[in-house]
Amino acid sequence: MPETGTEEEGLVIPRNLKVEENRGNMGNEGAGIIMQVENLSKTYSQGKISVHALRCACITVRKGELLAIMGPSGSGKSTLLALIGTLEKATEGRIILDGTDLTSVPEKLLPRVRREKIGFIFQHYNLIPTLSALENVELSMRFSRMPKKEREERAKALLEKLGLGDRLSHKPSELSGGEQQRVSIARALANKPAVILADEPTGEVDSKTRDSIVRTFKELSEKGQTILVVTHDPEVAKECSRVLRITDGVIKDY
């Protein structure tokens, strides 16, 4: 399969969106870097009011990092994830993820780039209520070239790995909060994303379930999965390999 220019729905990702050569600027430091956020800003404008939700953020993330993002309510944490997740457009700056400049991907190609490179985990799980655990995970691979049987096998294997082998046909309403979050982790992993973005993934669960979710994140990160996790919980942050703190849209790296 060619590295770029694969067709889907009549769309082709142009070669010039690949920016592998930029890694050359990073010298030896470039090895192992999966994401580079450069001077990223987001200003929301509503009439005469401008909210500077993110100001000139620069972040370098290495493959396999488990990175916590902390800060007070309204400081810009979800905005940062929404920009990296290509759900919002940056006002200024660039995001290079796995060799692709996300900020110059044309609108119509964004769903595909999002699907292939990014896994999302939300506080409220966002599973499809009418589908089983297995179907929720399988559905996220429906645009891949994998045959249905293989997609089902992969979904089953992921759910089994997350301890849900005996819950495959349960609907979200038949699962506990922690189990639903594990289904959403399996879904996020399904397309082997370059990065997983988790916005307060343990916000709704008890401390035991939180600890098991964090353990899962650590195991994934040890195997090379890069994960960014927004959290208010110091117990989650202390298990991460690094903590970014945001105040009023400004990032401090610890």
What is the contact surface with Mg ion in residues (CB under 5 A)? Answer: 78
Shortest Cβ 82–Mg ion spacing (Å): 9
Under the criterion CB under 6 A, does residue 75 sit at the interface with ligand ATP?
Answer: yes
Structural contact between residues 186 and 111, judged by C-beta atoms closer than 8 angstroms: no
How many Å apart are CA 207 and CA 200, to the nearest integer? 14
Closer by beta carbon to ligand ATP, 78 or else 221: 78
17 binds ligand ATP (CB under 6 A): no
Residue with smaller CB distance to ligand ATP, 126 or 130: 126
Judged by CB under 6 A, the number of residues near ligand ATP is 12
Angle at which helices 207-222 and 177-189 cross, to 10° = 20
Of the pair 87, 168, the CB lying nearest ligand ATP is at 87
Q: Which stretch binds ligand ATP (CB under 6 A): 7-15, 68-76, 131-139, 150-158?
A: 68-76
How would you classify the pairing of strands 33-46 and 92-97? antiparallel
Question: Binding segment for ligand ATP among 27-35, 66-74, 174-182, 217-225 (CB under 6 A)?
Answer: 66-74
CB of 213 to ligand ATP, least distance (A): 18
Burial class from Cβ neighbours inside 10 Å (0-12, 13-18, 19+) for residue 52 reads middle
Q: Which residues contact 90 (CB under 8 A, 6 or more apart)?
A: 40, 41, 42, 83, 103
**Which residue among 46, 166, 173, 254 contacts ligand ATP (CB under 6 A)?**
46
146 binds, among Mg ion, ligand ATP, none (CB under 5 to 8 A by kind): none
Please report whether residue 44 would count as binding ligand ATP according to CB under 6 A: yes
Token pair belonging to 195: 């990065």
Beta strand 242-247 pairing with 250-253: antiparallel
- For position 79 contacting ligand ATP by CB under 6 A, the verdict is yes
DSSP string, 170-182: --GGGS-HHHHHH
- Minimal CA–CA distance to 37: which of 51, 21, 13, 54? 54
Nearer to Mg ion, 59 or 82 (CB): 82
Residue 44 contact among Mg ion, ligand ATP, none, beta carbon within 5 to 8 Å by kind: ligand ATP
Spatial separation of the C-alpha atoms in residues 242 and 143, rounded to whole Å: 34
Name the residues that contact ligand ATP, by CB under 6 A. Answer: 44, 46, 51, 53, 71, 73-79
